[in-house]
Amino acid sequence: MANERTFLLTAVEPVATATWRLRLSGDTTGLCRAGQFVMVSVPGRYLRRPISVCDCEPGLLTLIVKVMGEGTAELVSLAPGTPLQLLCGLGNGFDIEATPRDKEAMIIGGGVGVAPLLLLCKQLREADRHVTAVLGFNTRADIFLERELEAAGADVIVATADGTAGCQGFVTDAIRMCSLKSDYFYACGPRPMLKAVCQQLRQAGEVSTEERMGCGAGICYGCTCQTTDGPKRTCKEGPVFKKEELVW
Ligand SMILES: Cc1cc2nc3c(=O)[nH]c(=O)nc-3n(C[C@H](O)[C@H](O)[C@H](O)COP(=O)(O)OP(=O)(O)OC[C@H]3O[C@@H](n4cnc5c(N)ncnc54)[C@H](O)[C@@H]3O)c2cc1C
Ligand code: FES
């Protein structure tokens, strides 16, 4: 259920090239489903910016923000102590139960799409699923959350497009080269990566898409994507869709 809350920005730390970790304190009740997102008000901007929940503990919310344009640049330049208005509890989130108990889950992220994988990993491990994380970046300096995912209990494989760290290539190359197997997969990242993952992996899975958004609350229909069941709003019926649902 979407609702507006005020959080206090407590820290802004660099984690990779143009990528920052924002720590916020406030009421996190009901916000802790992996794959959900918040719409963050940026002072002086009309539209809020959609950002995935990276981690969530009682009273503490962690977001990872990559600077893409003016809104995100402004967000990471805010001083600790700034109050932020967040529209919370948005989106459907990942389905932890879709991975059978004691089976293997593969979580796959590309670029800033790695952000929601930390909470997903924690929730899968708490539910006794084994987790392999496959993270794709352009280059070594872009890598983030590798150590945090290891600490959360995942086997982590990194791929970089230029080969400066881990396997050279895309996440799909790393999965093939390392012969990685799983019973179910979860992926988040740019659309071409999601399409390639869905085409390559034979097992069932689900993907979180990053459509451009206006309201984030199901009203403007600006985030509609095509599914086998007709057009759906990414912010309301998504952002997570089953592999077979999306029309590429
Ligand atoms: C469900 C979801 C989760 C996301 N999670 C994260 C995250 O955890 N970390 C992160 O850094 N980024 C995330 N993004 C992408 C992030 O929302 C955009 O990079 C950001 O809105 C760009 O804003 P800007 O003002 O810097 O760029 P501008 O290009 O100046 O933005 C102009 C407008 O377009 C919208 N817009 C631009 N790019 C995107 C995009 N890719 N997705 C949606 N709206 C966009 C902006 O919100 C703004 O309203 C997510 C997007 C979605 C849809
Ligand atoms: S962003 Fe307005 S309906 Fe989804």
pLDDT in tens, 126-139: 999 999 999 999 99
Domain assignment present for 204 = yes
Same domain, 103 and 192: yes
Instruction: Please tell me whether residues 110 and 73 are part of one structural domain.
Output: no
Please name which ligand lies nearest the alpha carbon of 238.
1
Pocket of ligand 2 (CB under 6 A): 213-216, 218-223, 233, 235
- With a pLDDT cut of 90, the percent of the chain lying above it is 93
pLDDT (0 to 100) of residue 133: 98
SS3 67: coil
Residue 45: its H or E element: none
Q: Does residue 226 surpass a pLDDT of 80?
A: yes
Residues 6+ apart with CB under 8 A from 69: none
In a domain, 52, yes or no: yes
Report which of 91, 142, 149 is spatially closest to residue 120, judged by C-alpha positions. 149
With respect to residue 66, please indicate whether it lies within any of the assigned structural domains.
yes
CA distance 112 to 100: 27
Does residue 129 share a domain with residue 80?
Answer: no
Spacing, Cα 29 to ligand 2 middle (Å)? 23
CB 238, CB 52: distance < 8 Å = no
Mutate to test the pocket of ligand 1, among 63, 212, 233 (most ligand atoms within 8 A of CB): 212
pLDDT at 50: 97
Residues 77 and 112 in one domain: no
| Ligand 1 midpoint to CA 131 (Å) | 28
Instruction: Give residue 2's pLDDT.
Output: 74
Could you tell me if residue 70 is inside a domain? yes
Q: Which domain holds residue 81?
A: 3-90
pLDDT at residue number 31: 80
Tell me the CA–centroid distance for residue 212 and ligand 1, in Å: 6
Q: Are 17 and 85 in contact (CB under 8 A)?
A: no
Percent of the chain with pLDDT over 70: 100
Would residue 58 count as lying in a domain?
yes
pLDDT at 43 over 90: no
Residue 139's domain is classified under what CATH number?
3.40.50.80
Give the pLDDT score at 239: 97
Task: Give yes or no: residues 135 and 40 share one domain.
Answer: no
Mean pLDDT to the nearest integer, 204-226? 94
Whether 237 maps to a domain, the answer reads no
Q: Is 22 part of a structural domain of the chain?
A: yes
Contact yes or no for 169/176 (Cβ under 8 A): no
Residue 55's pLDDT band, with cuts at 50, 70 and 90, is very high
The CATH number that applies at residue 82 is 2.40.30.10
Q: Ligand 2, residue 213: give the atom nearest the CA.
A: 1
- Same-domain check for residues 50 and 119: no
Measure 222 CA to ligand 1 centroid, in angstroms: 13
* Same-domain pairing of 101 and 160: yes
pLDDT band at 240 (very low <50, low <70, confident <90, very high): very high
Q: Are 210 and 192 in contact (CB under 8 A)?
A: no
CA distance 207 to 186: 6
CB 152 within 8 A of CB 122: yes
Q: How many domains does the chain have?
A: 2
pLDDT at 19: 98
